[in-house]
């Protein structure tokens, strides 16, 4: 994933460079302090994503995007949350980061970018990134069996490993595709493709028995029926 940064404040540049440097497969191709410099670069070069400050010295970030022919994915970075609504009117903008933003919030933006990029690259596998003890793990969604909530933690269970992060199951329900993952219990989200068999109260994935909550049962059965048709 090739990236450029357009940011006139050097401390903000440094933060982005630090964060991007932790992401597997991400490469900073160039860094610019003005949109005009970046525009000249983009005339002869292609990138996958631009990390773009809105308040630039020569032209605003939003106006700059409108001048770029076939713009790549854009992640807005700014200290002003008031621009969020107007920025999302531009289809190429994937996410909006308000300074100062944490590395975990940055990771969510990266996951959104990669998800959109993969829509046009069907040969690649969709993935997400997990920050565990300052080490970034790339996890392919197709490899996940299920997610399990444990108080303030979420366990990601694959056929070969278990990864644990500090987060809520609610956040991941909103992040994961509802066509591929479904919440079946207050403590579990499962990969629909990994369900091997089920009863009225339990399902099994890789011979692991997982309870089905009564409030989630009808939705689960509807999804399974739809996929079997």
CATH code for the domain in which residue 39 is found: 3.40.50.2300
Structure tokens that stand for 199 in this block:
């009863």
Q: Are 86 and 5 in contact (CB under 8 A)?
A: no
pLDDT of residue 58: 82
pLDDT over 80 at 91, yes or no: no
Q: For residue 90, name the pLDDT band (cuts at 50, 70, 90).
A: low
Tell me: do 100 and 156 sit in the same domain. Answer: no
Q: For residues 131 and 83, what is the distance between their CA atoms, to the nearest angstrom?
A: 28
Can you tell me the distance from the alpha carbon of 78 to that of 57, in angstroms, rounded to the nearest whole number? Answer: 14
Mean pLDDT value of segment 187-192 = 96
Can you say whether residue 144 is alpha, beta or left, with left for phi > 0 and alpha for psi between -120 and 50 degrees?
beta
How far out from the chain centre does Cα 146 lie?
18
pLDDT the model gives residue 123:
45
Same domain, 103 and 71: yes
200: confidence class by pLDDT, cuts 50, 70, 90: confident
Q: Do 115 and 141 belong together in one domain?
A: no
Residues 116 and 157 both lie in one domain = no
Structure tokens at 212: 């089905």
CA distance 140 to 158: 9
Confidence of residue 70 (pLDDT cuts 50, 70, 90): confident
Same-domain check for residues 7 and 104: yes
Last residue of some domain: 122, 152, 171? 122
Final residue belonging to a domain, choices 98, 122, 146: 122
Q: What is the mean pLDDT of the chain?
A: 88
Domain of residue 66, residue span: 2-122
Domain end, chosen from 92, 122, 152, is at 122
pLDDT, position 88:
52
| 102 and 132 assigned to the same domain | no
The total of structural domains in the chain comes to 2
């Amino acid at each position: 994933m090739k990236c450029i940064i357009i940011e006139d404040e050097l401390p903000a540049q440094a933060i982005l460079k630090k964060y991007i440097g932790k992401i597997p497969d991400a490469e900073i191709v160039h860094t610019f302090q003005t949109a005009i410099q970046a525009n000249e670069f983009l005339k002869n070069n292609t990138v996958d994503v631009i990390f773009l400050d809105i308040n630039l010295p020569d032209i605003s970030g939003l106006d700059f995007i409108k001048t770029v022919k076939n713009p790549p994915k854009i992640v807005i970075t700014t200290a002003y949350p008031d621009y969020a609504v107007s920025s999302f009117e531009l289809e190429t903008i994937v996410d909006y980061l308000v300074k100062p933003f944490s590395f975990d919030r940055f990771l969510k933006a990266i996951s959104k970018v990669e998800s959109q990029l993969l829509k046009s690259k069907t040969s690649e596998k969709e993935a997400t990134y997990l920050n565990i003890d300052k080490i970034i793990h790339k996890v392919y969604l197709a490899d996940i069996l299920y997610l399990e909530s444990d108080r303030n933690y979420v366990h990601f269970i694959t056929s070969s490993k278990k990864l644990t992060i500090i987060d809520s199951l609610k956040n991941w329900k909103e992040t994961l595709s509802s066509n591929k993952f479904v919440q079946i219990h207050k403590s579990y989200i499962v990969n629909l493709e990994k369900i091997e068999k089920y009863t009225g109260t339990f399902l099994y994935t890789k011979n692991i028995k997982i309870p089905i909550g009564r409030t989630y049962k009808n939705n689960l059965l509807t999804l399974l029926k739809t996929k079997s048709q």
